[in-house]
Amino acid sequence: MLCTPILSRTLATVPQAMHQAAAQADWIEWRLDFLEDFDFGNPVPQVAPVLAHSPRPVILTFRPQEQGGARPLSLSERWAFWRHASQLEAARFDFEADLVNWALQENQPLPPWEKIIVSHHDFEQTPEDLPGLVGQMFPAPVQTFKLATKASNTSDLLRLFQLLESTSRQAIVIGMGMPGAATRILGPAYGSLVTFTTAADGAPSAPGQFSARALREVFHLPALNRETTVTGLIGCPVGHSLSPHIHNATFAALGINGVYVPFEVQPDGQDLPAFVRNFVHPRTRCCGWPLRGLSVTIPHKVNVVPLCDRLTETAQGVGAVNTLLVEDGQLIGHNTDVAGGMEPLEKKIWLTQRSAGGGAGGGRSGAGHSVRFGSTGCPGDSLCPQSGSRPVGGSPF
């Protein structure tokens, strides 16, 4: 399900924002901490009429600044607010974990657990021991928790998905930032209660959010499920790429249950091997996605070569890979830059060995390779890459 936040500054603009959000959202999160013309000491008569006319179920949130909220709020201020606001007819109430733990210690009354989402945000890191953190922050009575952490690399992404798949409780697990983008796209298919979008006006309430329109129309949520074939793009950066628009539209047009996801893989020498090992290679991956293949862009086209089991002839000649396919238990590296770069040119001119090639990040190598081998990019009379692939000495996996 898609949940769109309402970040309105005035009460009068909230109903319009709710109806605007309802065009794409399944749920609405009303961020009361953003309101500037609001009596926080008497929330019920102000909020109840708006809730009564909401076109979607509403999560009420009153977030303190240190947890990503719009204003500084002490624990006592939040508790005073919720003592009244928890009487409202909302679908859910979002209570921060510190507030819930304090209330339990002080034997303070709470709404029914099925109405509470207990949340914690870490804007600095994804802690190593996520199960331990969950046990500490979300005690046993908690039925639904939300954990949002800053994802810095794909190892963080892996731990977030492992937590989502291992918990026995209802959960919302989010990796904030582009390295965690897959949690926002694939999370609901693997157990997340909702995925949060940007506000209806496009404003984000947390790093790395997509618009509800993009999640529905580009990535086709909520139709994704555990049988959805996962493909995508690895590179850094990837947020600007149009590839998800193109490939996901193709899946939809062909009636294929597939999704194309942007994966931001850091160029630090460690994240790429970790991503291939943990998510991609069929012999070592520990994430249960049915991943079938990936596009590869800068800066990983060359560095991914030794991580493959086999290379097509062109990829081996170029020394760069722009496509990874999982086939028969192996990871095969392909290069389509040669054909893609040369096809429009060969109709006009026969390039000789002295001709110059263009491109970048492996594309230049592809063009140069096709120059050396002629317009087809294939040496002599040998077949093009479709004819087979050659081992590269064995991947490290």
Domains, the chain, ordered by start: 2-220 (3.20.20.70), 225-397 (3.40.50.10860)
CA distance from start to end of the chain: 36
Looking at the predicted structure, is the pLDDT value of residue 44 above 50? yes
Looking at the predicted structure, is the pLDDT value of residue 388 above 70? no
Beta strand pairing status for 27-31 and 2-6? parallel
Cα dihedral across residues 183, 189, 192, 198: positive or negative: positive
CA distances for 296 relative to 85, 184, 293, 320, angstroms: 50, 21, 10, 10
* Residue 342 confidence (pLDDT): 57
Looking at the predicted structure, is the pLDDT value of residue 164 above 60? yes
CA distances for 130 relative to 120, 161, 317, angstroms: 12, 11, 44
Looking at the predicted structure, is the pLDDT value of residue 208 above 70? yes
* Residue 392 confidence (pLDDT): 66
- Of 53-57, 173-177, 312-316, 366-370, where does mean pLDDT reach its minimum? 366-370
* Residues paired with 3 in a beta bridge: 27, 196
Whole-model pTM: value is: 0.87
Q: How many Å apart are CA 236 and CA 132, to the nearest integer?
A: 31
| pLDDT, greater one: 221 or 381 | 221
- Of the residues 115, 146, 301, 348, only one is catalytic, namely 301
| Residue 337 dihedral angles phi and psi, to the nearest 5° | -60, -35
Q: Report the chain's C-alpha Rg in angstroms.
A: 25
* Residue 393 confidence (pLDDT): 58
Q: How many Å apart are CA 231 and CA 295, to the nearest integer?
A: 8
- Of 28-37, 43-52, 279-288, 365-374, where does mean pLDDT reach its minimum? 365-374
Q: What confidence tier does 336 reach under pLDDT thresholds 50, 70, 90?
A: very high
- Of 153-167, 198-212, 383-397, where does mean pLDDT reach its minimum? 383-397
Q: How many Å apart are CA 276 and CA 288, to the nearest integer?
A: 13
- How far is C-alpha 367 from the geometric centre of its chain's CA atoms? 33
* Residue 315 confidence (pLDDT): 94
| pLDDT, greater one: 346 or 1 | 1
Q: Which of 97, 186, 218 is nearest to 146 (CA)?
A: 97
* Residue 381 confidence (pLDDT): 27
Helix (H) / strand (E) element for 337: namely helix 337-346
Q: How many Å apart are CA 182 and CA 176, to the nearest integer?
A: 10
301 an active-site residue?
yes
* Residue 374 confidence (pLDDT): 35
| pLDDT, greater one: 360 or 177 | 177
Q: How many CB atoms lie within 10 A of CB 17?
A: 19
Q: What confidence tier does 396 reach under pLDDT thresholds 50, 70, 90?
A: confident
Looking at the predicted structure, is the pLDDT value of residue 344 above 80? no
Q: What is the mean pLDDT of residues 99-105?
A: 97
* Residue 385 confidence (pLDDT): 30
Q: How many Å apart are CA 235 and CA 300, to the nearest integer?
A: 6
Structure tokens belonging to residue 374 = 């002629």
Q: What is the mean pLDDT of residues 68-95?
A: 96
Looking at the predicted structure, is the pLDDT value of residue 168 above 50? yes
User: Peptide bond preceding 127: is omega within 30 degrees of 0, i.e. cis?
Assistant: no
Q: How many Å apart are CA 161 and CA 17, to the nearest integer?
A: 32
